[in-house]
Amino acid sequence: AGLPLSCAITFMHEIGHAVHSLLSETTYQHLSGTRGTVDFVEFPSHLFEHFVLDPACLATYATHGKSGAPMSPEVQGHSRSSRLRFAYLEAMQQLMYAAVDQAFYSCVPSSSSPASEVRAHLATSLGRFDAESSAGPVTALLGLSKPSKFDHLVHYGGSYYCYLFNRALSAHVWDRAFREDPFAPGPGGRLREFLRSGSVVQSLDTIEALLPPGAGGFRAEDVPLDAFLKQLSGE
């Protein structure tokens, strides 16, 4: 059966987590697979999304469910355009969620009305987000009517930023190491070794090892954004 593009992306995201766990070979069980810090273990899942996000890659294995025909250029173009329709708003929404997540977990209520104090703290944070946005007030447009509607607020404890961070990081790694030939043995072998190590060494260095020489050497706060921005604009 065919999958909508958004479902296919989610499917490959979860496949990234599954493969990280299945291929992991570690001495200690509690450091295998995805048993690590969330900003590290979200990288493989975001990288695997590119096997759907990159239409040229998708066309190498995606075929028509009945005829078996390969994906046509027209369908590739439609796939790209539908994904990009609200790409910038989606990225902005994730940035807003990350700000709310960190604001929520940085609030230490001291009054007899902690709920009211938390609400006021979040409102201040969202107001600052609007004030610092180059696009003007956007939180109402992006849609966060109340914190209880933000499902991930419970699970991430101030680290929801990892989604946007790993979208940018995985876009850079894909662009420099996988885009030209996603199934080449060289990048594939490096990815296999990365997954095999589980979460024993949870550092940017292990991710940079996937890159060809000269494409790494940056700090976490300096992750190159060019590939991610090109992805948002469909270049």
Candidates 14, 25, 180, 193; catalytic one: 14
For residues 166 and 87, what is the distance between their CA atoms, to the nearest angstrom? 16
Q: Cα(53)–Cα(148) distance, rounded to whole angstroms?
A: 30
SS3 233: helix
208 is catalytic: no
* Buried/exposed 77-110: b ≥16 CB within 10 Å, e otherwise: eebbeebeeeeeebbbbbbbbbbbbbbbeebeee
Q: Which of 46, 36, 154, 169 is nearest to 101 (CA)?
A: 154
Q: What is the largest CA-CA distance in the chain?
A: 66
* Tokens encoding 73: 């250029």
Closest CA to 196 of 10, 25, 7, 2: 25
The angle subtended at Cα 135 by Cα 132 and Cα 141, nearest 5°, is 100
The catalytic residue positions are 14
